[in-house]
Amino acid sequence: MRQAHPVERAVGIEYYLTDEDGTGGHLREEPEDFRVRELEQFEAEPVDAPAEKYPHLLVRVTLRRWDTNDFARELANKLGISRERVSWAGTKDKHAVTTQLFSVKGIAPEDLPEISDADVEVVGRTGRSILFGDLAGNAFEIRVREPPQPENATAITDSLREFGGDQVGVPNFFGQQRFGSRRPVSHEIGLAMVRENWERAVLAYVGNPSEREPEETQDARKFVDETRNWSEALDRMPGYLGYERSMLHELDRRTDGGEQPASEADFRAALGELPENLTQLFVNAAQSSLFNQMLSKRLERGLPFDEPVEGDVVCFADNDGPEGLELPDQDRTQRVSADRVASVRRHCERGRAFVTAPLVGTETELGEGEPGEIEREVLAAANLEPSDFEIPDEYTSTGTRRAILVRTDLELRQDPLALSFALPRGSYATVLLREYLKSDPEQL
């Protein structure tokens, strides 16, 4: 193993699994360099099914340079309907060509508008909207541009196959997108929320400058940290940082232009200026950073990822997943006692079970043995317990478990260097790609 990039270590990813030098190069020079296609797991009735029984029109959309949320908003605007009537299963990257399902409530196929850089195919009708997570996974076709050492890809692939068995395998880290590639702070905000330190949560978002940001942004954030002068900070904060400005405005208003010191209630109200789904993502990022740390420590201790040891908790396979894709069902779990290690190991070898680590929440039961030691060590270092994830204002998380290994049948092509593979829902393509490029996460 070799040490990871400093930005990755800040979010708990301490190592590259492979020792080989990376290929280098860069991604997404053109959207066509990064193609993503959903592996669908959502059935529809025929398009001529009665609309009163099946009010949601299901469409398959191929997008070029479209953020998923922005496309949904544009579609709703052109239809003249509420954005809440448009739903999808997974958020995709803007700098890509993506194919995914959307459902739209209460429209007919002939109502669908023309939208630039969007090809829309009607799939059918459904009785409910498609929900986040209503997919099995994603298939990727990715080109690496101008890699200085493309020949290294073969040795990297061999090392990943050794780790994953007969398939390429990597630790199932949460990728940098979960935290921010340029300024990874979402987990810091979430950890402050879990500790109910609302002042720290706000300042981690509004202040807390990063040398990777534009100079004017760094200066404005530094001014916040040094002065707590909300009114002048608002004047200095660039206009494109709308959320930061909203929070500063609320603090300025609640402190009468800085005449009074801000209280914890004021900071909590300022955080409330953010969309609720964003603040919930901060808590999720906190859980994700703890999970990444647990995987890094498992690597340090040399514990296996593809089979259990005593004290592990495994989950079982989702039998409804598409053929060839290992799809864990994190709701079906079992603790591995000493007398069950051998039998559960056989299930893992056959792709029927997967070793897990916790996304810690109020209902989390930690592992035993050495895996449990790791989980408790990470929580102790963060000065947290599962019960701390009981947070006011609907931010509470009960927690779940997540497979620690992700494997795939990868096809590697040279000249140009390109990779094709599929991953289950919730796993990050960049976690695999980082092993190949070994570059700044911002370039992935």
Q: d(Cα 173, Cα 288) in Å, to the nearest integer?
A: 8
Measure the CA–CA gap between 155 and 115, rounded to whole angstroms: 44
CA 256 to chain CA mean position, Å: 39
**Distance in angstroms (rounded) separating the CA atoms of residues 132 and 114:** 25
Asked if omega into 416 is within 30° of 0 (cis), the reply is yes
Distance CA 274, CA 100 (A): 28
Q: Does residue 93 have an active-site annotation?
A: yes
Record the tokens describing residue 164, joined without a space: 């994953």
- Residues of 238-255 as b/e, b for ≥16 C-beta within 10 angstroms? eeebeebbbbbbbbbebb
Per the DSSP assignment, residues forming a β-bridge with 103 are: 58, 87
Please identify which of the residues 21, 48, 70, 93 carries the catalytic annotation.
93
- Active site residues per annotation: 93
